[in-house]
Structure 1
C-alpha cells in the first residue's frame, strides 16, 4: 500500500516506464497543476501537498494492468484535471491517449498541459462523450466519471470484447459491481494501491444480456 509522498515517489521510480524524461514530465505536470489550481479548482487544495500520492501514483497504478505492447489506443472519460489521462500520456508518450472533457476551462487547461509536456500522441476531445465519434479503444479508463451502469451505457460503443476497462471507484467499487445488471462482463474489483478503502473495477465488457423469454 502506498501511504506517503516518499512511498509514492519510490513506487513510481520502480515502474518500467520511469526514467529521467518521465520524471521531468511529471515534475512539470505537478508545477503546472499547482499554478493552474490557483486560477480554477482543478483538485482540492488540501490534496496538493500529497499530489504524488493522491494524483500521480493514484493514476499511474492503472499502468501495470496493461501490457505495454497492447496499450494503445487509450480512452479516458471525464478527464477533468488530467487524472489519469495526462499521467498515462506522460508515462507512455508512445501511446495514443484520447481524453474526453466537456468543460471549457478544463479543456483549455488540458490542451496547455499537453503542449507543455510535449505529448504529441495525446489528444483532447472537447465534447460530451455522447458527441464523440465511435471507434474501438484498447483501454478505457474513468476516474469519478459516472456510476458504473451509466458509464457502461455511455462507453460500450467504444469497446470490444478485448477492451480493458480500468475504473477507479473509491469505496463504492464492490457495491456498484454487485448491483450491475443487464451486462455480460468479466469485471472484478482489485484493491487500490493508494487508498485502503478504495477499489478499481477491472475487466472486459462482453455486451448486453439478451431478454429472457
Structure 2
C-alpha cells in the first residue's frame, strides 16, 4: 500500500473532521521526532501506511457497541489515539510508562480536543487498577505468552482482543495454546502482506471457568 492509497483509504472511511484530526496527529508526531524517537525513522515517510492505516484497520473489527477500549504500550499513540479519533463515542485508556511519551500523549489528547474521553495511564500495566474493557489492543507491547497473563484482568467474558503481531502472529499463538483457551483467529494485515493481527475472544487460562458477565 502506497502513502497515496493509504490516505485515500482513510478518507473513504472517516468524515472530513476526523481526517483533519488525523492529519494534525501526523503533523505533531513528525514535529516531535527530533526530540524523541516516537516511531522508527525508517517508517516516517510511510507514516500513513505503517502507522495510521495499520491502526485504523482495527476499528471495523470491533463491535459498534464497544464503549471502553484499553491500548497497551501506546507509545506514539498507535493504535489507541487513531482509534479514539475515529470512534467519537468511545472512552479510551492509553497505557504508557515512559515519561516523555506520557507527556506527549497527554499533549496530543488536549490538542486534538479528545482529552475528556482519552485517559493516559502513566504507569506500568502491572501497577494499574483492574477494570473491565470491551476491547484490548496492543501493538509491539509484549509476546502473547506474557501479554495474556498481564492483561487478562482488564477483560470480561465478551472482551475482544485486537493484537497486531507482525510476522510472529502464528508462532506466538502456537506458544500459548497449551495454557490459554478461547476463540483465536489470525487475520492478515492490510498494510503488510507478511504481517497479521491476532483477533481473540472468550480468552481464559486453560482449566478456568468463564467469568460472569458485567
TM over 0.5: same fold?
A: yes
Deviation at 1:117, TM superposition (A): 0.3
SS at match of 2:32: helix
Q: Give 1:188-199 correspondences, 5 Å limit.
A: 188-199=185-196
Contact 1:183 1:205 in 2 (8 A): no
Q: Which residue of 2 aligns with 1:13?
A: 11
Distance 1:39 1:205 in 2: 41
Q: Which residue of 2 aligns with 1:202?
A: 199
Distance 1:130 1:205 in 2: 22
Q: Give 1:98-137 correspondences, 5 Å limit.
A: 98-119=93-114, 120-137=116-133
Q: CA offsets, 1:33-56, max 9 Å, x none?
A: 001111100001221111110110
Q: Which residue of 1 aligns with 2:165?
A: 169
SS at match of 1:83: coil
SS at match of 1:74: strand
Q: Does 1:84 align with 2:79?
A: yes
Deviation at 1:113, TM superposition (A): 0.4
Q: Which residue of 2 aligns with 1:160?
A: 156
Q: CA offsets, 1:106-135, max 9 Å, x none?
A: 000100001000012111000000111111
Q: Which runs of 5+ in 2 are unaligned?
A: 209-214
SS at match of 1:179: helix
Deviation at 1:6, TM superposition (A): 1.1
SS at match of 1:187: strand
Between Structure 1 and Structure 2, how many residues are aligned? Answer: 206
Q: Which residue of 1 aligns with 2:32?
A: 36
SS at match of 1:39: coil
Aligned-CA RMSD value? 1.1
Distance 2:100 2:152 in 1: 27
Q: Give 1:170-189 correspondences, 5 Å limit.
A: 170-180=166-176, 181-189=178-186
Where do 4+ consecutive residues of structure 1 move more than 4 Å? Answer: none
Distance 1:20 1:129 in 2: 35
Contact 1:63 1:88 in 2 (8 A): yes
